[in-house]
Amino acid sequence: MHDTIIRRGLLAGAVALTATVVLYGCATTRADDPEIAARASAMMKASFKERGQAKLDRLNQDETQRLCSEYAGRTLPASVVDKIQKENLATVKYPADGKLVGDWKSGERIAQSGQGFQYSDDPSRPAGANCYACHQLAPQELSYGTIGPSLYQFGKLRGYTDETRRYAWAKIYNAEAFNACSNMPRFGHHGILTEQQIRDVVALLTDPASPVNQ
Amino acid sequence: MADPMKIRANATGDSTEVKVLMSHEMETGQRKDSQGKTIPAWFIQNVTVTHGDKVVLAAQWGPAIAKNPFLSFKFKGGAKGDKVKITWTDNHNDTRTDEVVIA
Amino acid sequence: MDSRRRQALKSGGGLTLATLLVAAGWLKPGDAAAADAWNKSAFETKSLDDTMKALGGGTPATSKDIAFFSTPDIAENGAVVPIGITSSVPKTESIAILVEKNPNMLAAVFDIPAGTEPSLSTRIKMGQTSNVVALVKADGKYYVASKEIKVTLGGCGG
Amino acid sequence: MQPVKRRALAATCAIVAALLAGAAGISGVALAQSTADEIQKYRDALQDGNPAELWEARGEELWKTPRGPKKVSFASCDLGLGAGVVKGAYAHLPRYFADAQRVMDLETRLVWCMVNQQGMTQAEATKNAFGNGSERRSDIEALVAYVTSQSRGITMNVALDEPHVRDMYALGEKMFFFRGGPHDFACATCHGEDGKRIRLQDLPNLTKTEGAQKAYTTWPAYRVSQGELRTFQWRLNDCFRQQRFPELVFGSDASIALTAYLAGRANGAKYDGPAIKR
């Protein structure tokens, strides 16, 4: 299997040689060649194997993933931003009972836990959201990441309103609805968190009693 | 079978600095394996460092010493060319001795 | 790797460390008992008081003459926490490291013979944020100093 | 990504947070800084004795010992600079090997020598690619520790002008930005911006020369969290696990392509491994 891919790769490489010699001077800029993208995708499918809950279909990209990969490192055209945000906003489901706020203590546990969906994880255990990996939340936790903005005093700064909570809900449910190609996982859309778990994280962010808002 | 230690001994004037790395699991006896079975404790209990026939450091360790232990200290009276010998013994009564020439 | 030496050691595996050392002529018989000891009861203690009892000492006095060096306030990983301890208490005979919140408090005891500097560094495990206690025995008396080390959760959380 | 909007939002948050913290008598910024300083102290304190040396010593022994059904040592293994030459070899890898008709990284090449020269089966050679304590020790990790230690101080120089390597580099670059899985993660999610960290760990920006150089030249590394020496193949394998992808096959083309991309981006920097890391 490897051989075919290598041979195909070499052939394509040879054909593309003249072009790449010219391009080589800019090795630091990303190649946008769709042919390379197609070969990279095929190479990945041949280079991964399913393990536990992580099956090979995880390498099949949806439209958002495909577009965000294609435009990575470049400015997204406004039309692509609109398309991604519109399509993702349409996926957001609010709870049927209208209850947006759960238990912040449970939310804090979810924010601390990075368990879930790795092939090394037990699929019968609830997944976490691992918020602290990327965000500052409760100030007591010193070990927080900075890939996303600080969410310290999220509710206090925005007001403990229904509007704030609906925004928090939708953002957790599908971050691509507001920020095309955001680094944040689409926790509701991909079924990473349950409805109750999202409630609890919304509580962590918007309950006046939550340590995040102290 | 235990791997050799990595020992360095360097003399500056009258003082010899000894640094040693040991290859050992230092299993606490508190951890469980993937089947939920407790992994038995397995750790170095005694370390003795000698210069000639003089003990320059004797240690007793519990399982709270980190895996692949590191130890560093200084003693007086060593000279370049002398030998420093280190021996450890673990709770399985396995033991290992290595030596190094003071540089 | 010196496989012959390893072979020799293997064959001596049934002997105690002390007899090995004596046999090899590295220790005078009089020194052997000290080197061989492993104070089981001390390593099983859960509190400073119990550790002191097991080590045969009374209530230790807090001392400013014990210092931590190359010891961070925050450990990026509790599996390996560097600890350096220097005692300037005259006639220091031994230095012990204790971790208050570990399942067993005592991590290590180092006997410091005359001629060896009462200063050493090693690496310990910490299950959680805790006080680390340096316990020094000098001229038959016990002294302590302690330092809190925070243990953080790292990486992707996995 | 909408950089302007996001940055403005983040900046606003930071300013507001700082103002509030200031009013409460503590500076969140100062707190974060002191945490970073203390973590740096922790890392500095670990540099003094790196248990990777234990792997290097075992690897050197393995390199020199006749192994496999054919009882052949690695003295006949060509890492690219001639049979048995170890000094500086890692700084040129991955490279194209005509005898295997393939671009190979160090791990793949070691396996190739075990199979083609020492007579092992592929399965035997890759059985313990990643070790686990003394029960399941990895010869590959030890060999990699030894070989890489012999490139310490040598300038990274991957032959990006060689067509096969260049092709793999381009494929690796594509992979780096490939988003997928239930969490939408790509390598670039965590390693595409300056000055970011996950929890308290600084994340190198691998799209920038400086970040790629710093990261690549400090692998393999002794991971204190695992008490193991980990190779670059392991680093990639475990990144994809955390990306929620299926398992990256050891020595697969994708693993070599990504290595070629990152090693190539490290060109010009002095190799400085094996290192010690959290």
At C111-121, the pLDDT tens digits run: 999 999 999 99
Residue given tokens 């692998």 in the structure block: D219
What pLDDT does residue A214 have? 95
Q: Does residue C11 have a pLDDT over 60?
A: no
Domain co-membership, C107 together with C123: yes
The span from the CA of A127 to the CA of A116, in Å, is 4
Most C CBs within 10 Å, among D46, D201, D223, D237, to test the C interface: D46
Q: How far is C29 from chain D (nearest CA, A)?
A: 33
Nearest residue in C to B51, CA atom: C26
Q: What is the 3-state secondary structure (H, E, C) of C72-107?
A: CCEECCCCCEEEEEEECCCCEEEEEEEECCCCCCEE
The span from the CA of B96 to the CA of B24, in Å, is 11
Contacts of D227 in chain C (CB under 8 A): 79-80
What pLDDT digit, counting tens, does each position of A165-185 carry? Answer: 999 999 999 999 999 999 999
Domain co-membership, C121 together with C144: yes
What pLDDT digit, counting tens, does each position of A23-79 carry? Answer: 333 344 444 678 999 999 999 999 999 999 999 999 999 999 999 999 988 899 999
| A53 Cα distance to chain centroid | 18
What pLDDT does residue D30 have? 52
Are chains A and D in contact at 3+ CB pairs closer than 8 Å?
yes
Domain co-membership, C73 together with C23: no
Residue C158 lies in a domain: no
| Catalytic pick among D77, D113, D187, D239 | D239
Contacts of C74 in chain A (CB under 8 A): 142
What range defines the domain where residue C103 resides?
Answer: 42-151
The span from the CA of B21 to the CA of B73, in Å, is 12
Residue C29 lies in a domain: yes
The span from the CA of B6 to the CA of A164, in Å, is 59
Contacts of D35 in chain C (CB under 8 A): 74
Cross-chain CB nearest to C158 (options A114, A132, A142): A114
Q: How far is D160 from chain C (nearest CA, A)?
A: 32
Domain co-membership, C17 together with C94: no
Residue C157 lies in a domain: no
Domain co-membership, C26 together with C81: no
Q: Do A142 and C74 touch (CB under 8 A)?
A: yes
Nearest residue in D to A22, CA atom: D161
Domain co-membership, C61 together with C30: no
Mean pLDDT, rounded, of chain C: 79
The span from the CA of A61 to the CA of D180, in Å, is 6
Residue C156 lies in a domain: no
User: Which chains sit next to C, with 3 or more Cβ pairs under 8 A?
Assistant: A, B, D
The beta-carbon contacts of A118-124 under 8 Å, at least 24 apart in sequence, are A118/A54, A118/C158, A118/D241, A118/D242, A118/D244, A119/A51, A119/A52, A119/A53, A119/A54, A119/D241, A119/D246, A119/D247, A120/A52, A120/C158, A120/D241, A121/A52, A121/A53, A123/A52, A123/A53
Q: Do A47 and D254 touch (CB under 8 A)?
A: yes
Q: Is D22 on the interface with B (CB under 8 A)?
A: no
Q: Is C30 on the interface with A (CB under 8 A)?
A: no
Q: How far is B48 from chain C (nearest CA, A)?
A: 7
Pick the CATH number of B6-101 from 2.40.40.20, 2.60.40.10, 3.40.50.2300, 3.90.190.20: 2.60.40.10
Are chains C and B in contact at 3+ CB pairs closer than 8 Å?
yes
Domain co-membership, C113 together with C130: yes
Instruction: Tell me the percentage of chain A whose pLDDT exceeds 70.
Output: 85
Q: Do C38 and B28 touch (CB under 8 A)?
A: no
Nearest residue in D to A43, CA atom: D254
What pLDDT digit, counting tens, does each position of B47-80 carry? Answer: 999 999 999 999 999 999 999 999 999 999 999 9
Q: Where are the domains of chain B?
A: 6-101
What pLDDT digit, counting tens, does each position of A124-137 carry? Answer: 999 999 999 999 99
Nearest residue in B to D59, CA atom: B3
What pLDDT does residue C36 have? 57
- Active-site residue D239, yes or no? yes
Q: Is C128 on the interface with A (CB under 8 A)?
A: no
Residues in chain D with pLDDT < 70?
1-32
- DSSP letter for C146, please: E
Residue C116 lies in a domain: yes
pTM tops 0.90, yes or no: no
Mean pLDDT, rounded, of chain A: 88
Total structural domains within chain C: 2
Contacts of D186 in chain A (CB under 8 A): 68-69, 72
Provide the ipTM. Answer: 0.81
Contacts of D225 in chain C (CB under 8 A): 77, 79, 154-155
Cross-chain CB nearest to C156 (options A112, A133, A142): A133
Domain co-membership, C62 together with C24: no
Q: Say which CATH number the domain at C129 has.
A: 2.60.40.2470
Most D CBs within 10 Å, among A4, A41, A45, A69, to test the D interface: A69
